[in-house]
Amino acid sequence: MVTIVVGGHFGDEGKGKIISYLAVRDNPDIVARAGVGPNAGHTVFKEGREYGLRMIPCGFVNEDSRLLVGAGVLVDPERFLNEVKITETEGRIAMDRRCAIIEERHKKEDVADEFLKKRVGTTGSGCGPANAERAHRTIKLANEIPQLREYLTDVPLEVNSAIDEGKQILLESSQGFWLSLFYGTYPYVTSKDTSAGMAAVDIGIGPTRVDDVIVIYKSYTTRVGEGPLSTLITEENIKKYPLWQDILSDAKEKGFTGKVNDILAHYLGEKGTVTQRQRRIGSFDFELARYSAMVNGATQIGITCLDKLFSECYQIRDYDDLPKRVKDYIRKIEKEIGIKATLISTGPEPEDLVDLRQK
């Protein structure tokens, strides 16, 4: 049984939180990491401690799960080894021996390149230059790095054998659909496709092996870095949104000042995990959400951060306890996308969640 979790907007949808919940609740035998590489930043809580992860699967919170990093994922060796130490996952984590390696020069190029840094607004983690070199076929692979030797495995062999034995696989991707090199807002995109199909490719399983694709959306849309955000909330259009006007009033009462979008970003705590850059805030973009559910082949959707829009639903875990206006908000998203919301997140801790999946 394979479940893929991907982001439906521009990343930072709170996939880390959802994955950590699924890892604890479903007890997967394997949690495998797909996606571009250490440009991702996932925030995960384990026993009250906060972890900002860029290489290690968020599912590490389940101490019984085997952790794998797929061949499609770029590896920054220093960061990987550091995160293994912080998360104490030595002995149960491995990467595919064909993972491509990010070197210092890739990171330097990422921040020195005017187009990448200024126009695209990359994370500076070296992913773009490394993927370009990978396509040139001159990049180093993990099996050439002595410090990584003890972590090498054949990920497709491990995962496909586990599937044959009826085991549970949780496949976590990174970034979001609209950052896809193929389908996103080019050229303001990352250096690879970010859809569920690519996640399967990243770890070496065929499309016929995937059972469920859960696309995660935040209850509003955010974007870090350059590129269009058509539902951006501004001084001019906020009058159209009573909900956002209420949030703005709340924020102002609490002493936040400045431009509307800056106030909202500060109030909602929207700052990049990797770069600490402020994220832009938009209302929920239904059109983008519908399209990404289509290309990802969503079977279920998850909605996060509802408590940030509706403080009265903070930490609610039972659907019946959700206030009517929150249920209406969820229903509207489900209707517009045409897929049922099965995971509804009401706080940052893994257990702050309404789980409506069929048991």
Contact between 43 and ligand GTP by CB under 6 A: the answer reads yes
Site string for ligand IMP, 190-209 (x = CB under 6 A): xx------------------
Per the listing, tokens 């009573």 go with 242
> What is Dmax (Cα atoms) for the chain?
59
Residues that bind Mg ion (CB under 5 A): 12, 41, 273
Instruction: Confirm whether 42 is a catalytic residue.
Output: yes
The CA distance from 301 to 177, in Å, is 14
The CA distance from 174 to 273, in Å, is 13
Binders in 44-73 for ligand IMP, by CB under 6 A: none
Residue 347 binding partner per list ligand IMP, ligand GTP, Mg ion, none, with a CB distance cut-off of 5 to 8 Å that depends on partner kind: ligand GTP
Contact between 174 and ligand GTP by CB under 6 A: the answer reads yes
Stretch that binds ligand GTP, among 22-30, 34-42, 144-152, 323-331 (CB under 6 A): 34-42
Contact between 225 and ligand GTP by CB under 6 A: the answer reads no
Contact between 8 and ligand IMP by CB under 6 A: the answer reads no
Per the listing, tokens 């496949």 go with 171
Nearer to ligand IMP, 177 or 267 (CB): 177
Residue 14 binding partner per list ligand IMP, Mg ion, ligand GTP, none, with a CB distance cut-off of 5 to 8 Å that depends on partner kind: ligand GTP
The CA distance from 66 to 332, in Å, is 38
> Rounded to an integer, what is the distance from CA 232 to the centroid of its chain?
21
Number of residues that bind ligand GTP (CB under 6 A): 23
Is omega for the bond preceding 187 within 30 degrees of 0, making it cis?
yes
Residue 96 binding partner per list ligand IMP, Mg ion, ligand GTP, none, with a CB distance cut-off of 5 to 8 Å that depends on partner kind: none
Residue 122 binding partner per list ligand IMP, Mg ion, ligand GTP, none, with a CB distance cut-off of 5 to 8 Å that depends on partner kind: ligand IMP
N-terminal to C-terminal alpha carbon distance within the chain = 14
Instruction: Say which of 9, 29, 42, 307 is annotated catalytic.
Output: 42
Per the listing, tokens 């859809």 go with 195
CB atoms within 10 A of CB 232: 16
Per the listing, tokens 């521009």 go with 10
List 174, 195, 231, 345, residue binding ligand IMP (CB under 6 A): 174
Give the ranges where the chain is alpha helix by DSSP (H): 15-26, 77-87, 104-112, 114, 127-136, 155-164, 196-203, 242-253, 260-268, 286-296, 306-309, 324-337
- Alpha-carbon distances, residue 358 vs 239, 329, 340, 342 (angstroms): 40, 22, 11, 9
Contact between 204 and ligand GTP by CB under 6 A: the answer reads no
Per the listing, tokens 């951060």 go with 305
The CA distance from 262 to 180, in Å, is 26
Nearer to ligand GTP, 148 or 263 (CB): 263
> Rounded to an integer, what is the distance from CA 42 to the centroid of its chain?
6
Instruction: Confirm whether 12 is a catalytic residue.
Output: yes
In the complex, the smallest distance separating the C-beta of residue 35 from ligand GTP, rounded to whole angstroms, is: 8
Stretch that binds ligand IMP, among 6-14, 68-76, 147-155, 283-291 (CB under 6 A): 6-14
CB atoms within 10 A of CB 48: 6
Stretch that binds ligand IMP, among 172-180, 230-238, 295-303, 346-354 (CB under 6 A): 172-180
Contact set with ligand IMP (CB under 6 A): 10-12, 36, 39-41, 120-123, 125, 127-128, 174-175, 179, 188, 190-191, 224-227
Q: Which residues are catalytic?
A: 12, 42
Contact set with ligand GTP (CB under 6 A): 7, 11-17, 40-43, 174, 176, 273, 304-305, 307-308, 345-348
